[in-house]
Amino acid sequence: MLSRHVVLLSGKVQRGGFRSFVKKQALLHGITGYAENLPTGEVLLVLEGEEGEIEKLLEKVEREAPAFIEVEEIQKRRENYRGSFSDFERKGEDVLEGLESSGTRKLLLRLVSYAKSSDEKLERGIEILGTIKSQQDEMLEKQDRMLEKQDEMLEKQDRMLEKQEEHIEVTRRIAEKQDEMLEKQDRMLEKQEEHIEVTRRIAEKQEEHIEVTKKGFESVSEELKGYKELHEEIRELREEFARLKEALREAGIPLT
């Protein structure tokens, strides 16, 4: 969670590169704001960034500050995050107390100027390191996402393999059923062939029976033809007898 902390540090805190130390740590932790030397001898820190990173920075200020720094009191106030800064700065005048000799003072000023230049270079290096760290964090985050994607892909591949195994099992069962069906069809074909053979034999028997029946009909037809001729002869005899009977009656010859 993004947050803003206003921190007032009391004690011997305005010498020994304390602000540079704070700035270095702030850049390493991705914190923006400033460290300012106040006329009262205190140092004011205004810090914006992730709550956890700010807490880590303040722990380092208490435990790892430069040897010449003595932090006697820390007053902290947490505020709502504003997003007021894009970098971390050092503010306020450098402290040069107790330097009576002008030559020494000039020398020290030159040393301070050199130190400032070194600090700027150091800060630039820290900024570059911070950028590299940020890029590394992004790369690590991308690698984590890639690993997550790979895990998802592996999981999907596992599911696909399971589905393929299920499909293979179903295909094997279908093949078994098809083999059973083919076997039954073979048996049905054998039965059909047997049935066809029986039907053929029956047909042959029927043809033989028809032939016998046909011959019987022909024989009966011949007999009927003889009966018809006999019936015609009987009819002619009856007609002849009737004519004879009529002739006898006309001749007055009684029939006994």
Helix 102-250 vs helix 18-28: crossing angle, to nearest 10: 10
Task: Classify each residue of 236-245 as buried b or exposed e, where b means 16 or more C-beta atoms within 10 Å of its C-beta.
Answer: eeeeeeeeee
Q: Is 18 helix (H, G, I), strand (E, B) or coil?
A: helix
Strands 88-91 and 43-50: what pairing? Answer: unpaired
> How many C-beta neighbours within 10 Å does residue 221 have?
10
Task: Write the CA distances from 165 to 86, 153, 178, 196, 238, integer angstroms.
Answer: 57, 18, 20, 45, 104
Annotation marks residue 80 as catalytic: no
DSSP result, 36-91: EE-TTS-EEEEEEEEHHHHHHHHHHHHHS--TT-EEEEEEEEEE------SSEEEE
Q: How far apart are CA 152 and CA 187, in angstroms?
A: 52
Which of 15, 3, 29, 18 has its CA nearest to residue 62?
18
- Output DSSP code: residue 94: P
Q: Which of 37, 159, 200, 243 is catalytic?
A: 37
Annotation marks residue 37 as catalytic: yes
For the chain, the distance separating the N- and C-terminal CA atoms, rounded to the nearest angstrom, is 157
Q: Which of 19, 145, 173, 235 is catalytic?
A: 19
Residues annotated as part of the active site: 19, 37
